[in-house]
Amino acid sequence: MTSAPASGTAPRPSLTQPAAPPAFPADSPAAVTAVHGPSGVAFFDFDGTLIHGDSLPMFVGEVIGRRRAALALADAIRSGLHRHVRGRGPGCDFPGSVKAIFLKRTLRGLPVAEAMAAAERMVPRIRWHQPMLEVLKDHCRQGRRVVVATGALDLYMPALLRGLGVADLLATGMEVVDGTLTGRLSTANCVRRDKAERVTAWIAGNGPVAATWGYGNHPSDLPMLALMHKGEVVRIRRRSNHR
């Protein structure tokens, strides 16, 4: 756990500055330049930042069983690679293609009620990255808004964030028809540039803000971190404490 920060500053446990240059030019419409207002905002990635590992395979494991989920993910990786080599991947990049295939094969036809029940079963299994959880709580104590921006699904994230004081969630949406998942996304996959664009739009729609902090992992969150007044890369140590 980190020590209490000085007034007006954010804690810095095991973090480093982004090594890459800003993803957007300073004069780009997507760049956050001067902002004004009484309140700051802290943006947090989720997987590999606030928690250990990836929450999506865990969620699918709660839905169809862990062994079947692991086999489905391995098959999605193989299928995604073959499709991407032929230029027919369903996602904008290889990871996006794997995710699209994985979700379609495992969640199509799932009632939303069952998805919500699976989300609740996940809650006690999450391995929190305790230092970053303390950073989030410290931002809340200092009166800043906290927003989680993640490629994880909006199906289960509200259950996992319950009680943490998160003001808003930017996540990947799943399409629902008549109370059942179609297996397709209803939003862009909220990672990399898509995440940066969602964060930019959030600031434009909810500002003005006094300052922005961002926390994410390398390299997928660099476009978001480049938008921040203070963006930092999180590296989770293997023996880090967790909840």
**Full residue range of the structural domain in which residue 22 is found:** 15-54+127-234
Residues of the chain with pLDDT under 70: 1-38, 84-92, 238-243
- As for how many domains the chain has, the answer is 2
State pLDDT tens for residues 185-241: 999 999 999 999 999 999 999 988 889 999 999 888 999 999 999 999 999 876 544
Residue 47 sits in a domain whose CATH number is: 3.40.50.1000
Q: Are residues 41 and 62 in the same domain?
A: no
Structure tokens at 118: 């699976």
CB atoms within 10 A of CB 154: 16
Q: Same domain, yes or no, for 115 and 157?
A: no
Amino acid identity, position 227 = L
Tokens of 222: 């660099």
- Same domain for 117 and 194, yes or no, is no
Give the largest Cα separation in the chain, rounded. 55
For residue 82, the model assigns a pLDDT of: 76
CA 2 to chain centre: 23
The two tokens of residue 76 are 């999605």
Q: How many CB atoms lie within 10 A of CB 240?
A: 16
Residues 133 and 64 reside in one and the same domain:
no
The answer as to whether 23 is a domain residue is yes
What is the structure's pLDDT at 86? 65
Judge if 21 and 68 occupy the same domain: no
Please state, in angstroms and as integers, the Cα–Cα distance from residue 156 to each residue in 109, 121, 128, 140, 162, following that order: 17, 10, 16, 22, 11
